[in-house]
Amino acid sequence: MDERGRRFEQLVVPHLGAAFNLARWLVRNDHDAQDIVQDACLRALRFLDGLRGEDARPWLLGIVRNSTWSWLQANRPAEIAASDGEDESQAPAPASDEPETSAIRRAEARLLNEAITALPPALREVIVLREIEDLAYRDIARIADVPIGTVMSRLARARRLLSQSVKVIEAAADRQRAE
């Protein structure tokens, strides 16, 4: 009985957290991320028979990533257009320069999150998959459907941009401490 439901519970549900985290980072709000992940998981349920002996996590994340990019293409085409990351964009400047003095660390975390959010989606997703989800290059390549070489250059570019942002964040924190 209910073999498919059980397989879904064993294979897909454990990775729901990673699926939601990825979609949420890409679309930047809970509501849309939830809709996208729900659709993607129901699609995964339909294709569950195609999953034979491979690792379910990159498989599911690949489906979620696809759904998310389709959604972005339909709803925020401008964001995608600028985002193949080929242009050497400016390091995103953290928006705020007045963190609460009582919570410099919290302010730093907020600025870091803003800096990641300001990355073009193609760079943001490799950072989320590599640094937050701790996936190997080959899995990231599969999920984002690009060659490993592209994953590597995107990762290098994303980290270069974030390093610049971090320098701004650190300078701001130093100023706060000095005051």
**146 contacts other proteins (rule: CB under 8 A):** yes
Distance of CA 29 to the CA centre of its chain: 12
CB of 175 to other proteins, least distance (A): 18
User: In the set 71, 72, 99, 108, which binds other proteins (CB under 8 A)?
Assistant: 108
DSSP state of 152: H
Token pair belonging to 68:
């998310």
User: Are the CB atoms for 143 and 158 separated by under 8 Å?
Assistant: no
User: Are the CB atoms for 127 and 25 separated by under 8 Å?
Assistant: no
CB of 18 to other proteins, least distance (A): 9
Give the contacts of 166 (CB within 8 A, at least 6 positions apart): 112, 115
Element (H, E) at 118: none
User: Are the CB atoms for 122 and 154 separated by under 8 Å?
Assistant: yes
**129 contacts other proteins (rule: CB under 8 A):** no
Residues 29-88 touching other proteins, rule: CB under 8 A, are 30, 33-34, 37-38, 41-42, 45
Query: Cα separation of 127 and 162, whole Å?
Result: 10
What is the maximum span of the chain, computed from C-alpha positions, in angstroms? 67
* Residue 13 or 81 with smaller CB distance to other proteins: 13
Q: How many residues bind other proteins (CB under 8 A)?
A: 54
CB of 153 to other proteins, least distance (A): 7
CB of 120 to other proteins, least distance (A): 17
CB of 150 to other proteins, least distance (A): 7
Residues contributing to the site for other proteins (CB under 8 A): 1-6, 8-9, 12-13, 16-17, 19-21, 24-25, 30, 33-34, 37-38, 41-42, 45, 108-109, 112-113, 116, 127, 130-132, 136-138, 141-142, 145-153, 155-156, 159, 162-163, 166
